[in-house]
Amino acid sequence: MGLSRRTFSTLAGTTALGLALGGSGAANCAYAAPTAPTGPAPAPPAADGRHHTIGFDRYSLVVDGRRLVVWSGEMHPFRLPSPSLWRDVLQKMRAHGYNAVSVYVSWNYHSPAPGSYDFTGIRDLDLFLRTAAETGLYVILRPGPYINAEIDGGGFPGWLTAARGTARTADPAYLAHVDEWLTHVDAIASRHLYTDGGGTILLYQIENEYDAHVTEATGRAYMAHLYGKVRADGIDVPLFHNDKGRNGYWVPGSFDTRGEGGGWLYGFDGYPSPTQTPPDWGHFGVGGTKGGATASPRTPGFMPEFGGGWFDPWGGVWFDRKGYAESRRQRDAAYERRFYLTNLANGITLHNVYMTYGGTSWGWLPAPVVYTSYDYGAALDEGRQPTAKLVPMHQLGHLLHHVPDFAKLDRAADVQAAGLRVYHLTNPDTGAHVYVARNDGTRAVTSALPGLGGLPVTVPAKDARLFVAGMVLGRRKVRCSTAQPMLSLTAGRQDIAVFTGRQGEATVTVLEYPERPAVTVLEGGAAHTYADGLLRVEARLDGLTRVLVSGDGTGNPLLLLLADDDTSLRLFPHDTPSGPVLAHGPALVRTAAVKGKALRLTGDTVAAAALEVWGPHDITELAWNGRDLAVATTPSGSLRTARPLPGVGKVSLPALRGGWRRRTENPESAPGYDDSAWKRADRTTSYSTTPVPGGQPVLFADDYGFHYGDVWYRGRLTDARGARTVSLAYSTGTQGLLMAWLDGRPLGTHRMPVPDNSTVRKGTWTDTAVFSVPAEARTAGPHVLSVLVRRMQHDQDGKAQDTHKAARGLTAVTFDGAAPQVSWRIQGEKAPDARRGPQNTGGLYGERHGWHRPEYADGGWPAASLPRADRRQGVTWYRTSFRLAVDPGIDASVGLVLDDDPARAYRVQIFLNGWNMGQYINDVGPQHTFVLPNGILRTRGSNTLALAVLSDGTTPSGPSDVRLTLLGAAAGGVPVLPI
């Protein structure tokens, strides 16, 4: 490629080869031979300014010579347009066991026009990367250039639809734009690489699920160009691509990366249905290039995307119109245990859950296949609230960080247990054994599991469980346990081991003790026996059972904590420079810091909860969210508050019944409207994949610089004599529509059909609306044809066929019985404002004149009341204001609900304080609740709500029931700055 690259070299003094930094010239082999021993994981990352190495072998990543299992969650800053809340989500992820965050960077979000890039405000990538580092999370950066992500154009900017060059190929015209984009992204990313301690970027992805042109020269040249460009920009962490399934595409050696030696990893995505048997994509699979991880036998098993839910289409056909609640129900905690534990058994040590926080595709961000909400059925819902799906993520994430054996597992001899599928693995360094027992049936199964001393284990229907034997936790070895280990740490002068399971489950944990220890049951109904060097503890999980074991000659006593699922979710380990901390009780512990003899914690409570902590032995004081607490020492060796932390106070939301003002618009439909400032639609050629009809001008909106939202056309006819009908061919995304007027008289509305199972993935819809020309309009002389097209969004380009370039808007206009000459003008969105960006507003008259903005003076608008039952074709705006007075110590997540008779055909654009928070389609759904992010929402102050109602005139249109709803609240949260 002729591009300079940062050198990869051997790091002296480590146990494995790493990716070294600095210098330039040819890259040396950095493939890490499998010599890194099993040992403690690296400390949580930070922007510490120190030199770090990142290598790998077939088992795992090796960071600074230590094995690392990556347990990552996906979130997208562009789907949470409140930078203050990025910290909230990242801290929740870190507290619940994730050690990395995977991040798409969407080109269209940052580039409103060719050569124009914005990384400020809500687009501040530098701020996000700093926040991730401050939170202690690694970053997997994914800047495309194509990302898919159910985002408009798959992340391609709107202006690229009208640009020369074939996307996702080695076309020089396209690559010139790509290089410009990557130059801007990499200038930021290069300051945040973990390798030089500037930040915590651990891995970097080029392209996304690129399964086109794999065997063609243009595809290989394209991937090589991206690789070379990123390396030339100073990105020296391992690079990867995410294969769209188990294809074996873009493995090391398939193009110019010098195999693994160039720091290239193979990764593949997986989204199996919950009705499927969890697939084996590694140790236990078919093997070879179609076997998932086995396609690249010298790199670790890597799944850049594994289903943490699934998206929902317009109309909700996939989830029976129940929305994301049903998505979450189908892919619940049991799904996670079955599928994620199967992945772990198959050697997947780089595991990213897509999505962990889905968020909101606000404004005109969503791709045609999805509506505004991108909740995804994720573990953290769209309102940033925890769900039951966090339980297995929390338990497994903390396990993988605190128990190092899982970073290096080989397949072991098969074992059988009646009614269960059992995976058996062992660590070659420690001899520890791991068993994953999965129940694919519809009834619970109890069976003896070889390797656990014949102990019976029960696995619920469609669920899975993880067991260990011969594993060292702290200074003790676990002979076997029917509970799942969650963590092991030393706090103060005692070792702590946590085991978990379902509520009410009977468990047996057997520990090796050469001498009879002293055993004290501090809490719960545990029983214990000792014989032949084995201590057997039996307990039924209900809350937190505590067993203190001491006097065995090993020094530190052992505190064995046995927690049911709900209780485990309130156990929060944190690393501090002074040593580990384990906190128990509140809904969330965000941060932990030791200052002198004081341990200072921040976090959230929902219900009142006692706070208990284990930490460095000299800690005698405790503070919570800046407030000093009275504490006492417990027999468990912890500090416990004398009084419970208070729960969250009441949050009152106002009704939205009064104060509404209303104004109709669409003056563009009137024949006398002055459109002289509009652009002439007179082009004859286009780079669109949609052919230009013969004898017609180009009417495609993108060719005139209008890329988002609604677009207006006005055609001046020379003569309408003989015209019986007018046919308006148009092309839109899902749920597009068209309205037409002739000389100010409504001709009618046409809309694209609601997707069904056969069309749900269709991204471009074309049709022709045919309207009768009124007899009185079939006259000589000038006439004006006005057309409003809700174009929806651009198709994605998943198959690399330039489908994002399919036309949006009108494509052709013809008359039956006449052939008048027509001159066209077109108008769409104005230039984007600096804060809200290009996807915020479209081409409605009210948007172009600022009716959505809070500063707009609507005092001259007539007062209105809800519910409404108007019947007209066109656009009507409603505005009101409301005040909130949420206590500053409460994090309240608020949503807006719209409800009406589903037979009414209308849609609403929702603007809060000038921000377009999404689109509601009353007769399509399924979305009725729209999240209003704090920062955009003033939780202490005045807010302006504007609703732009687009109705077809065939039925009464609302809005009807418009109300605020509380999605969740906690005492605590993070400071939020207004946007």
Q: 745 exposed, middle or buried (CB, 10 Å; 0-12, 13-18, 19+)?
A: middle
What SS3 class is residue 152?
helix
Helices (H) and strands (E) in the chain, counts: 10, 53
Tokens representing 959 are 């809005």
Rounded to an integer, what distance in angstroms lies between the CA atom of residue 789 and that of residue 531? 80
Mean pLDDT, each 10-residue run in order, the chain (979 residues): 29 30 33 72 97 96 96 98 98 98 98 97 98 98 98 98 98 98 98 98 98 96 98 98 97 91 96 97 96 97 98 97 97 98 98 98 98 98 98 98 97 97 98 98 97 94 98 92 97 95 97 95 97 97 97 86 98 97 98 97 98 96 98 96 98 95 98 98 98 97 98 96 97 98 98 97 98 96 96 97 98 96 97 94 98 97 95 97 98 98 97 98 98 98 98 95 98 97
| CB-CB contact of 861 with 661 (8 Å) | yes
Tokens representing 208 are 């996304």
What SS3 class is residue 90?
helix
Query: SS in 3 state form for 203-221?
Result: EEECCCCCCCCCCCHHHHH
| CB-CB contact of 99 with 71 (8 Å) | yes
Residues 6 or more apart from 674 whose CB is under 8 A from it? none
Rounded to an integer, what distance in angstroms lies between the CA atom of residue 378 and that of residue 895? 18
Torsion of CA 130, 134, 135, 139, to 10 degrees: 40
Which residue shows structure tokens 């069309």? Answer: 759
Tokens representing 465 are 């469980």
Query: What one-character DSSP code corresponds to residue 44?
Result: P
Rounded to an integer, what distance in angstroms lies between the CA atom of residue 738 and that of residue 787? 7
Per-residue model confidence (pLDDT) at position 452: 95
In b/e form, how buried is each residue of 384-399, taking b as 16+ CB within 10 angstroms? bebbbbbbbbbbbbbb
Tokens representing 475 are 């200074």
Per-residue model confidence (pLDDT) at position 23: 27
Per-residue model confidence (pLDDT) at position 5: 26
Peptide bond into 300 cis (omega under 30): no
Per-residue model confidence (pLDDT) at position 25: 29
Rounded to an integer, what distance in angstroms lies between the CA atom of residue 578 and that of residue 36? 27
Per-residue model confidence (pLDDT) at position 34: 53
Per-residue model confidence (pLDDT) at position 19: 33
Residues 6 or more apart from 913 whose CB is under 8 A from it? 854, 936, 937, 938, 943, 944
Q: Does the pTM exceed 0.85? A: yes
Rounded to an integer, what distance in angstroms lies between the CA atom of residue 358 and that of residue 377? 8
Query: What one-character DSSP code corresponds to residue 295?
Result: G
Tokens representing 627 are 């407030």
What SS3 class is residue 742?
strand
Rounded to an integer, what distance in angstroms lies between the CA atom of residue 205 and that of residue 954? 49
Tokens representing 369 are 């296949």
Query: What one-character DSSP code corresponds to residue 820?
Result: -
Best CA proximity match to 6, nearest among 31, 19, 25? 25
In b/e form, how buried is each residue of 776-785, taking b as 16+ CB within 10 angstroms? ebbeeeebbb
Per-residue model confidence (pLDDT) at position 758: 96
Rounded to an integer, what distance in angstroms lies between the CA atom of residue 272 and that of residue 281? 11
Longest CA pairwise span in the chain (Å): 108
* Torsion-angle region of 419 (φ positive above 0: left; ψ -120 to 50: alpha; else: beta): left
Rounded to an integer, what distance in angstroms lies between the CA atom of residue 134 and that of residue 86? 12
Residues 6 or more apart from 377 whose CB is under 8 A from it? 308, 309, 310, 324, 325, 326, 327, 328, 329, 330, 331, 358, 389
Residue 745: how many CA atoms within 13 Å on its side-chain side? 11
The total number of residues shown for the chain amounts to 979
Per-residue model confidence (pLDDT) at position 821: 93
Which residue shows structure tokens 């003033």? Answer: 938
CA distance from start to end of the chain: 43
Rounded to an integer, what distance in angstroms lies between the CA atom of residue 856 and that of residue 937? 17
